Amino acid sequence: MQESSNKVTSKVSSLLSSLLSSLLSSLLSSLLSSLLSSLLSSLLSSLLSRPVVQPVIQPVVQPVVQPVVQTVSQMVVVQNLPKCVPGQMLCPYCHTNVVTKIEYKIGPYTWLVCGLLGVFLCWPCCFIPFCVNDCKDVEHSCPSCSGIIHVHRRM
């Protein structure tokens, strides 16, 4: 008799346990599903409710109006003045860009060299500078209007 009762209790207990387990599993599954669904729905809603393009309103930085320092561009064109060879210059008379025509002129340097030669060397040599272009001033003139643009003085 006791054995049978034991058997019954064991059976009952097994049944109970199985029932419990099934119940628990079903409960868990339902809970999980509900949780998942809620999570999904919240995620979806959050995704859908998010505005697509958020216009970023930046504070417009007002450019500080500084006193504009006007660099006065001087009209004086600094030209590379030609020296002993013809150079390109802007003629101030006819306002054209010309290559200057050169002419050697006797200047103070020529006289100085002449004097030095006359004093320190034999005096007939003092005429040499008047024949050597390197001792004379160079006069640059315009080939079109023949105006003297620049005189390169050696001293």
Site for Zn ion in 123-142 (CB under 5 A): 142
Q: Which two tokens stand for residue 144?
A: 């079109």
Q: Which two tokens stand for residue 125?
A: 């040599």
Instruction: Compare residues 93 and 130 and give the one whose CB is closer to Zn ion.
Output: 93
Which member of 145, 148, 151, 154 binds Zn ion (CB under 5 A)? 145
Count Cβ atoms below 10 Å from residue 138 Cβ, excluding itself. Answer: 22
Shortest CB 106 distance to Zn ion, Å: 24
Instruction: Compare residues 115 and 147 and give the one whose CB is closer to Zn ion.
Output: 147
Shortest CB 153 distance to Zn ion, Å: 21
Which position has the token pair 């320190």?
120
DSSP H stretches of helix in 1-155: 2-49, 108-120
CA distance 135 to 103: 13
Shortest CB 147 distance to Zn ion, Å: 5
Shortest CB 86 distance to Zn ion, Å: 14
Instruction: Compare residues 84 and 145 and give the one whose CB is closer to Zn ion.
Output: 145
CA distance 57 to 60: 9
Cα dihedral across residues 139, 89, 143, 83: positive or negative = positive
Shortest CB 96 distance to Zn ion, Å: 6
CA distance 92 to 83: 18
Site for Zn ion in 82-111 (CB under 5 A): 91, 93-94
Instruction: Compare residues 45 and 144 and give the one whose CB is closer to Zn ion.
Output: 144
Residue ranges binding Zn ion (CB under 5 A): 91, 93-94, 142, 144-145
